[in-house]
Structure 1
Amino acid sequence: MNSFDDKRNFYRMMLNTEVVLTILDDEVNSQVSATCRDLSATGMAVEMEHPLEISTHVRVKVDSASSQVQALDVSGKVVRIEEESKDCYLIGITIEEID
Structure 2
Amino acid sequence: MKGFEDKRDFYRMMLNSEVAVTVIDEEINTHMSATCRDLSATGMAFEIDHPLALSTQVNVKVDSAGSQIQALDVSGRVVRVEQESNNCYLIGITIEEID
TM-score (normalised: structure 1): 0.95
CA deviations over 1:21-60 (Å, ceiling 9, x no partner):
0000252111000000000000000000011000000000
The whole-number CA distance in structure 2 between the counterparts of 1:72 and 1:89 is: 22
Task: Give the distance between the partners of 2:39 and 2:27, measured in 1 at CA.
Answer: 28
Aligned to 2:44: 44
**How many residues are matched?**
97
Query: Given the superposition, is the C-alpha separation of residues 68 and 14 from structure 1 closer, same or farther in structure 2, using an over 3 Å criterion?
Result: same
Query: In structure 2, how many angstroms separate the alpha carbons of the residues matched to 1:25 and 1:34?
Result: 18
Amino acid at match of 1:84: E
| TM value normalised by structure 2 | 0.95
Name the residue aligned to 2:4: 2
Structure 1: gaps spanning 5 or more residues: none
Fraction of identical pairs, as percent:
71
Aligned residue number for residue 54 of structure 2: 54
The AA in structure 1 aligned to 2:11 is Y
Structural RMSD (CA): 1.0
Partner SS state of residue 54, structure 2: coil
AA aligned to 1:66 is G
Shift in CA distance, 49/26, structure 1 to aligned 2, threshold 3 Å = farther
- Following the alignment from structure 1 to structure 2, what is the Cα–Cα distance between the partners of residues 10 and 16? 19
Structure number with the higher helix fraction is 1
Counterpart residue type for residue 54 of structure 2: I
Question: SS of the residue aligned with 2:67?
Answer: coil
